[in-house]
Structure 1
Amino acid sequence: MRTAATEKATGGTREDRRTHPAPREPAYVHGYSDHEARRLTDQADTLAALLHAGTAYPAGSRVLEAGCGVGAQTVHLAASSPGAHITAVDISASSLDQARARLAARPHTATVSWRQADLTDLPYADASFDHLFVCFVLEHLPDPAQALAGLRRVLRPGGTVTVIEGDHGSVFFHPDSDHARTVIGHQVRLQAAAGGNALLGRQVQPLLAAAGYEDVVVRPRTVYADTTRPGLVDSFTRNTFIAMVAAVRDDALAAGLTTEADWERGIRDLRRTAEAGGTFHYTFVKATAVNPGG
């Protein structure tokens, strides 16, 4: 989930450039800490049934996972697509090392290969893949439309793309709190300052259409958690969403977005939604589309 869009992606045939220089790792709003890697893994495991349902690739098919990060989603792709040939690409060498270790520790039947590369300058020939899987990547790119157009180059005509994104504007909870909404807004502003967009979920359909994909189908996937679902309260409300927002505290203070007292009030109110009587809702967007010409 960490990819920089620093160069323009263009069409035309390219050879697989095996000596392509390693790209420079970009800034990432959530950081590259071990804690963040655990959060991403917890998020992927928690949401696997919700987000990966309906995603499986035939044996022998060539699948590109664009922006695989620490492999949190890769393990689920590999498990659901036995016999597929998955190429997992990320710009971060350290994330790829963690991804390799994560896959090695879990049983899977798909063939997975790894490549450090920039999504806007992929070292693959045109039409190299049958399917693309892009999960929680576009939200971190300064030009997601350009990235989708570049990815389409390496997708064969008639091949499919699956895109999954969140949208922090879809959050609602009880008890409601302006202070809690404000700290979420700080995370949105910091991600925008880093060149991303935490509200990208609502744009997935027009982005795919503008990039030239056809037959775009969007299906919202909503997480709802209350104390009758304690597993989701812990794994999603506390350990995924609130943990993500809480992690930008120092950056929010350094940027002058908030005071320490206001920040603590907002996080306290947000944590209240995971306690008795609280509820939490978040909607992801999952879209599929086809590269025309097949």
Structure 2
Amino acid sequence: MGTDYVHGYTPAETRRLTDQAGTLADLLHGGTTYPPGSRVLEAGCGVGAQTVQLVTRSPGIELVSIDISEESLAEAKARVASLGSPVDFRLANLYELGDEKVDHVFVCFVLEHLADPVAALAKLRSLLEPGGTITVIEGDHGSAFFHPQSPRAQAVIDCLVDLQAAAGGDSLIGRRLQPLLEQAGYNDVRVEPRTVYADQYLPHLVDGFTRKTFVAMVGSVRERALAAGLMTPAEWAAGIRDLSRSAEPGGTFHYAFFKGVGRT
């Protein structure tokens, strides 16, 4: 879909995506349901972590879930099979989809990896029936605030931001959702932040988000960062160690996702 996936296709990344989806299910999917019989396209389903939420929260929909990775689709099929909800999984590039119409489109953590998100959104708009909707969810790594504050921890986050930019993506894309949707021709665009805050009194978020989602996400690009000469192994280890302190007693972590909805 325009870039390589900077986090890699590994078992560890599959676990991270699963942890993220489960921990943030209500935060990200709250307010998003589709009527039975609606034809819904999930563009970029990955390993199916969000697919599970779609079929669970909107029973009776006709869901088509696409991805460019055969390996990820296999994971998604296996994950959804136990739910007994039929999903039409397809190997496809969203830029090259045909003209098959749908009522709604759902896109989660996909635009950040694309070199031309406006073109992708415009293509998806062309598939929507009149009055159809698109829901887009993206993060923004610039919204990560944590305690204890550490320049070394910030440096490893910046490595991820720089590597994703070098690959053609944008890990700060959340703040751009509103103009991107309008540039792609959507109407009635509404965007709102969905904020995560974790401290020792919210242990499920400390474990599920701070440790298993965010720190794990940054850690997934270690080899790329070292290969690019962005850091030495010692500098990387120190940065991850400092970042991990935000998941320890006395540590805090804040992050904002952005959820946008538009209509044809």
Give the TM-score, by structure 2 length: 0.98
Q: Deviations over 1:5-60 (max 9, x none)?
A: 3xxxxxxxxxxxxxxxxxxxx62100001111111111011100100001110011
Q: Does residue 152 of structure 2 align to residue 175 of structure 1?
A: no
Q: Once the 2 structures are TM-superposed, how far is the Cα of residue 70 of structure 1 from its aligned partner?
A: 0.6
Provide the residue aligned with 2:47 in structure 1. Answer: 70
Q: CA RMSD in A?
A: 1.0
- How far residue 108 of structure 1 moved from its aligned partner, in angstroms, is 5.2
Structure 1 gap ranges (5+): 6-25
CA contact (8 A) 1:78 1:108 kept: no
Match of residue 123, structure 1, among 98, 109, 118: 98
Q: Write the letter of the residue equivalent to 1:219.
A: E
1:101 is paired with a residue of what secondary structure?
helix
> What are the equivalent positions in structure 2 for 1:44-123 lying under 5 Å apart?
44-105=21-82, 107=83, 109=85, 111-123=86-98
How is 1:194-273 mapped onto 2 (pairs within 5 angstroms)? 194-273=167-246
Task: Tell me, yes or no, if the aligned pair for 1:135 and 1:163 is still in contact at 8 Å.
Answer: yes
Question: Is this contact kept in 1: 2:108–2:136, CA < 8 A?
Answer: yes
Tell me the distance in 1 between the aligned counterparts of 2:126 and 2:65.
17
- Is residue 113 of structure 2 the alignment partner of residue 140 of structure 1? yes
Whether contact under 8 Å (2:99, 2:126) holds in the other structure is: no
Q: Is the Cα–Cα contact under 8 Å of residues 79 and 108 in structure 1 kept in the other structure?
A: no
Post-superposition shift, 1:123? Answer: 2.8
User: Structure 1 runs of 4+ off > 6 angstroms?
Assistant: none
C-alpha distance in structure 2 between counterparts of 1:209 and 1:172, whole Å: 29
Aligned identity (percent) is 62
Letter of the structure 1 residue corresponding to residue 90 of structure 2 = R
* Runs of 5+ unmatched residues, structure 2: none
Q: Partners of 1:123 and 1:209 in 2: how far apart?
A: 23
SS of structure 1 residue aligned to 2:225: helix
Aligned to 2:124: 151
CA offsets per residue over residues 187-224 of structure 1, 9 Å max, x none?
11111111111000000000000000010011100000
Q: Give the distance between the partners of 2:162 and 2:114, measured in 1 at CA.
A: 14
- Output the amino acid matched with 2:142: G
CA contact (8 A) 2:178 2:189 kept: yes
Residue identity opposite 1:83 in structure 2: G
Tell me, in whole angstroms, the C-alpha distance in 2 between the residues paired with 1:40 and 1:123.
28
Aligned residues: 264
TM-score w.r.t. the length of structure 1 is 0.88
Aligned partner of 2:93: which letter? D
Partner in structure 1 of residue 261 of structure 2: 288
Deviations 1:209-248 (A, max 9, x none): 0000010011100000000011111110000000010111
Matched residues in 2 for 1:41 and 1:260: separation? 28
Amino acid at match of 1:217: R
Question: Is the 8 Å Cα contact of residues 4 and 113 (structure 2) preserved in structure 1?
Answer: no
Secondary structure of 1:221's counterpart equals strand
Distance in structure 1 (CA, Å) of the matches to 2:99 and 2:240: 44
Aligned equivalent of 2:133, options 150, 154, 160: 160
Which residue is equivalent to 1:17? none
The answer on whether the counterparts of 1:75 and 1:108 sit within 8 Å (CA) in structure 2 is: no
Contact 2:106/2:134 (8 A) holds in 1: yes
Structure 2 distance, partners of 1:81, 1:56, is 5
Give 3-state SS (helix, strand or coil) of 2:41's partner: strand
Equivalent position to 1:38, from 15, 28, 43: 15
Shift of 1:124: 3.4
1:287 and 1:215 map into 2 onto residues whose CA distance is 10
Read off the aligned partner of 2:127 and give its amino acid letter: V
